[in-house]
Amino acid sequence: MTPLEEKVLKSEILLKIRVTLRKVKKLSHEVFPTVGPQKILLLSERILEQIINRHKDYSFNQMFFVKTGILKLIIELISQIEYSTVKNVTWSIIPAYNMLFTSLLKNTEYIIVPQWEENYAIRNRNLIEEFSNHLLVPGLIFEIDTPEKKIKEILEDIPEKIYLIKYSRLEKLSALHMALLGHEIGHIFATRWMNEEYSKFAHSTTLFTQLKDIAMRELKKEGLTDDMFVNDFMQMKMRSYNTLIIKNYSELLSDVFGCALFGQEVIYCHPNPGIVILYYL
Mean pLDDT of the chain: 84
Do 164 and 233 have their domain in common?
no
User: Stretch 213-223: mean pLDDT, rounded?
Assistant: 84
Percentage of residues in the chain having pLDDT higher than 70:
90
The domain in which residue 219 lies consists of 193-280
Query: Phi/psi of residue 109, each to 5°?
Result: -120, 175
Do 198 and 154 have their domain in common?
no
Do 153 and 228 have their domain in common?
no
Do 198 and 163 have their domain in common?
no
Do 164 and 30 have their domain in common?
yes
Q: Select from 128, 145, 173 the last residue of a domain.
A: 173
Angle between helices 177-204 and 207-221 (to 10 degrees): 80
Residues 6 or more apart whose CB falls under 8 angstroms from that of 209 comprise none
Query: Phi/psi of residue 247, each to 5°?
Result: -60, -45
Do 90 and 225 have their domain in common?
no
Do 155 and 68 have their domain in common?
yes
Q: How many domains does the chain have?
A: 2
Percentage of residues in the chain having pLDDT higher than 90:
31
Do 139 and 223 have their domain in common?
no
Let me know if residue 109 belongs to a domain: yes
The DSSP bridge partners found for residue 110 are 163
Let me know if residue 83 belongs to a domain: yes
Let me know if residue 235 belongs to a domain: yes
User: Stretch 94-113: mean pLDDT, rounded?
Assistant: 80
Q: Select from 173, 201, 225 the last residue of a domain.
A: 173
Do 36 and 147 have their domain in common?
yes
Let me know if residue 183 belongs to a domain: no
Annotate 179-195 with b (16+ C-beta within 10 A) or e (fewer).
bbbbbbbbbbbbbeebe
Global model pTM greater than 0.75: yes
Do 159 and 56 have their domain in common?
yes
Q: What count of Cα atoms within 13 Å lies in the side-chain half-sphere of residue 207?
A: 14
Let me know if residue 186 belongs to a domain: no
Do 66 and 164 have their domain in common?
yes
Do 166 and 207 have their domain in common?
no
Neighbours of 65 (CB within 10 A): 17
Q: What is the pLDDT of residues 230-254, one digit of tens each?
A: 788 888 888 898 888 888 888 888 8
Positive/negative CA dihedral, 99, 104, 108, 111: negative
Q: What is the pLDDT of residues 116-175, one digit of tens each?
A: 877 777 887 899 999 999 998 888 898 888 888 888 889 999 999 999 988 877 766 666
Let me know if residue 187 belongs to a domain: no
